[in-house]
Amino acid sequence: MLGVDSKATTGELGLGVRKIWNTGSSRRVHPYIGGGVSFIAAKFEAGSTSDKDNGVGAWLGGGIFWRLGSRFNLGMSLRGSSANVDLYGVRADAGGGHFGLCLGWGWPAAER
């Protein structure tokens, strides 16, 4: 920005619901979709000045994970979020697109 050092940061917390399906011959493939409320904090620093704001918006996403063994999960997800913030008097969407990888421990769902 015109020879001035600048830095922008965002942080996000998403709360919502997720629908997970059990598919495949061994029921180890689990596609899912979800959505909910997104709380986003944004900060922009330019030279010796800074401005920050928080916004509330929405997120929507989906993905797939595979159950390896009895409880270990490996997967990937895509997610989009949106929330408006005001920085230096300019309204902007601080959300965006996200790609994630999942590697972790899961608990078995209740048998039906």
**What does the pLDDT look like over 11-64, one tens digit per residue?**
999 999 999 998 877 788 999 999 999 999 999 998 899 999 999 999 999 999
Residue at 85 is within a domain: yes
51-85 pLDDT, tens per residue? 999 999 999 999 999 998 888 999 999 999 999 99
66 to 25, 43, 55, 75, 94: CA distances (angstroms): 12, 37, 34, 6, 31
Residue at 112 is within a domain: no
- 85: buried, middle or exposed (CB in 10 Å: 19+, 13-18, 0-12)? buried
The whole-model pTM stands at 0.82
Residue at 17 is within a domain: yes
- Tally of structural domains, the chain: 1
14 pairs with which residues across the strands? Answer: 38
Residue at 111 is within a domain: no
Q: Are 72 and 85 in contact (CB under 8 A)?
A: no
Q: Which domain holds residue 74?
A: 6-105
Residue at 1 is within a domain: no
Residue at 77 is within a domain: yes
